[in-house]
Amino acid sequence: MHQAFLAAAERFPERIAVVEPGDGEISYGQLADLSGRTCDQLRARGIGRGDRVGLYLRKSIDTVAAIYAILRAGAAYVPVDPGAPPARNAYIMHNCGVKLVFSESRVTEKFCAELDAIGAAPQVIALDDVCAGRALERWLGTQPSALPSAQETDASPDDDDLAYILYTSGSTGKPKGVMLSHQNAVSFVDWCSEVFEPRETDIFSAHAPFHFDLSILDLHVSLKHGAALVLITEDVGKDPMRLARIIAEHRISIWYSAPSILGLLAQFGNLANLAFPALRHVLFAGEVFPVKHLRILCGLWTQPRYFNLYGPTETNVCTFYEVITPVPDDRSVPYPIGQVCSHLLGKVVDESGTTVERGAEGELCITGRGVMQGYWGLPEQTVNSFLVDPQGTRWYKTGDIVVEESDGCYIYRGRRDRMVKRRGYRVELGEIEAGLYKHAQVKEAAVVSVPDEEAGVRIVAHLSCKVQTVPSLIEMKRFCGENLPLYMIPDRFVWQPSLPKTSTDKIDYQRLKEMA
């Protein structure tokens, strides 16, 4: 993964690589040097091929340099949510056996206490005031010079060596580590290069946190091509007015985020009063983009191309669809998730694992160079996540129900685990959400099901409103009666100022289920 960045640094040493708005920037040559000196220190501490190194840092130039230092040492990086409880992050670091962790001083004491409590003892490097690469420079200034080993300073990993591990929520309540190799990552980055044709003059956004798989495109595609990467902090990333100004002022040309952020920009970003002449690609992934919000956005940003990217962390993006604008006024159903990416193959199977005929519903399965190696330390769960065909090919079971159209394009129907039986009918909760989004005053909609002794299952709709006065229960029941089958009408409507989000800006369904 790191070799493409180093090649770009040789070609464009003076070009700006990474920008922290208002705090600083770093050139390709400077970033290569900073990551190289950090790599030397890692190697002096025994970090090498096959090791894991944790990152408990805010998004910053320091973090980017640390990522490339880890890769150059031959190790895999393990980023965690810097806003998550120290106990959760300590569990993750212990679970995958990191040998060293870069941590911020402000959290190090609590973090180390949690590590001690579970018997973990990685080396912990505490960095003060992480920002613009200065924290890493200060730390390097306190260390004795580290001589490169007799071998090459930069390791040359095999295709199957781990590049990074991303932890996602697990069904057991414990996060599970998705293991991605250099081949997994490079095949995805190369596919992005093929489809989006990045230029050295592009300016990419880095909206996603580094523990979210969207960051792989932001970081590694931009720095492969000599483009600039603008880091967007969490506080700015959820403020549509400030976010819109950064996109305009920094002349971002390739944007990538979850749809919820783009929906906020469309509704509350004051986009009509700003200029965005550089914007040429708008990419979104992670959840369904409500059509009414997408229509507003396309009406405000008319010049870029729009791409719906789909895929779980285990495959990164595995299908894609270009949305042709403008969005028709009469369209209410979400756009397809599209065709399978060129470095992967897909098929749709029934519950027995048999391939279904085109046009029939089934679970989407993916195979190819971009599919994860497995879950760290969970061999049984890894085996259960794959379907092995008679030829011995492993197909990752996405858990998503789709229909393949005649042109090879997939229509997303919903999650296998979000389908419930109610009154004898099979109900996809996402379909209820799509119906609720048709209401003019609904800003956000999320539907969950909870067990009920009498009815078997109770459906609860959590909603946020565009105006202060929320629609009455009678109005919502009447509206649903006009837009949904009777068996799909929610039992309860819960209005909130805004719906809870995960650290990756997706609606937090687990929290909503607890509330329900």
Q: How high is the pLDDT of residue 430?
A: 82
Question: Lowest-confidence range among 137-141, 195-199, 420-424, 478-482?
Answer: 420-424
The helix (H) or strand (E) run that includes residue 56 is strand 52-56
pLDDT band at 134 (very low <50, low <70, confident <90, very high): very high
Q: How high is the pLDDT of residue 150?
A: 40
pLDDT band at 79 (very low <50, low <70, confident <90, very high): very high
Question: Lowest-confidence range among 57-71, 267-281, 471-485?
Answer: 471-485
Q: How far apart are CA 265 and CA 296, in angstroms?
A: 10
What's the mean pLDDT when you consider all of the chain? 91
Q: How high is the pLDDT of residue 249?
A: 96
pLDDT band at 357 (very low <50, low <70, confident <90, very high): very high
Residue pointed to by tokens 């991303």? 166
Following DSSP, what letter does each residue of 240-300 receive, concatenated?
A: HHHHHHHHHHTT--EEEE-HHHHHHHHHHS-GGGS--TT--EEEE-SS---HHHHHHHHHH
Q: How far apart are CA 22 and CA 255, in angstroms?
A: 19
Beta bridge partners of 55: 79, 102
% of the chain with per-residue pLDDT over 90: 73
Half-sphere exposure of 315 (CA within 13 A, CB side): 31
For the segment 283-311, what is each residue's pLDDT rounded down to a tens digit?
999 888 889 899 999 999 999 999 999 99
Q: What are the DSSP E strand ranges found in 374-455?
A: 374-375, 386-388, 394-404, 410-415, 419-422, 425-428, 442-452
* Count of all residues that appear for the chain in the document: 516
Residue pointed to by tokens 């002022």? 249
* pTM: predicted TM-score of the whole model, two decimal places: 0.83
% of the chain with per-residue pLDDT over 70: 95
Q: How far apart are CA 276 and CA 428, in angstroms?
A: 38
pLDDT band at 87 (very low <50, low <70, confident <90, very high): confident
Residue pointed to by tokens 């609590």? 110
Higher-confidence position of 255 and 88: 255
Q: How high is the pLDDT of residue 456?
A: 67
pLDDT band at 441 (very low <50, low <70, confident <90, very high): very high
Question: Lowest-confidence range among 93-97, 143-147, 251-255, 393-397?
Answer: 143-147
What's the average model confidence in pLDDT over 238-254?
A: 95
Please answer whether residues 16 and 25 qualify as being in contact, where contact means their C-beta atoms are separated by less than 8 angstroms: yes
Residue 423 has pLDDT above 90, yes or no: no
Q: How high is the pLDDT of residue 151?
A: 44
Q: How high is the pLDDT of residue 57?
A: 95
Please answer whether residues 72 and 36 qualify as being in contact, where contact means their C-beta atoms are separated by less than 8 angstroms: yes
pLDDT band at 514 (very low <50, low <70, confident <90, very high): confident
For the segment 208-230, what is each residue's pLDDT rounded down to a tens digit?
999 989 999 999 999 999 999 99
Q: What are the DSSP E strand ranges found in 302-393?
A: 305-310, 319-323, 339-340, 344-349, 361-368, 374-375, 386-388
Q: How many CB atoms lie within 10 A of CB 242?
A: 15
Enumerate domains of the chain plus CATH numbers: 29-181 (3.40.50.12780), 344-412 (2.30.38.10), 423-515 (3.30.300.30)
- What Rg, from alpha-carbon coordinates, does the chain have? 23
Q: How high is the pLDDT of residue 486?
A: 79
pLDDT band at 17 (very low <50, low <70, confident <90, very high): very high
Residue 155 has pLDDT above 70, yes or no: no
Question: Lowest-confidence range among 64-68, 86-90, 195-199?
Answer: 86-90
What's the average model confidence in pLDDT over 454-478?
A: 88
Q: How far apart are CA 450 and CA 441, in angstroms?
A: 26
Q: How high is the pLDDT of residue 426?
A: 63
Q: Is 152 exposed, middle or buried, given 0-12, 13-18 or 19+ CB atoms closer than 10 A?
A: exposed
What's the average model confidence in pLDDT over 266-284?
A: 95
pLDDT band at 453 (very low <50, low <70, confident <90, very high): low
Please answer whether residues 125 and 93 qualify as being in contact, where contact means their C-beta atoms are separated by less than 8 angstroms: no
Q: How far apart are CA 443 and CA 426, in angstroms?
A: 26
Residue 487 has pLDDT above 90, yes or no: no
Q: How high is the pLDDT of residue 428?
A: 77
The dihedral sign for the CA sequence 280, 208, 496, 450: positive
- Please enumerate in sequence order all residues whose Cβ is within 8 A of that of 110, keeping only pairs 6 or more positions apart, or say none: 86
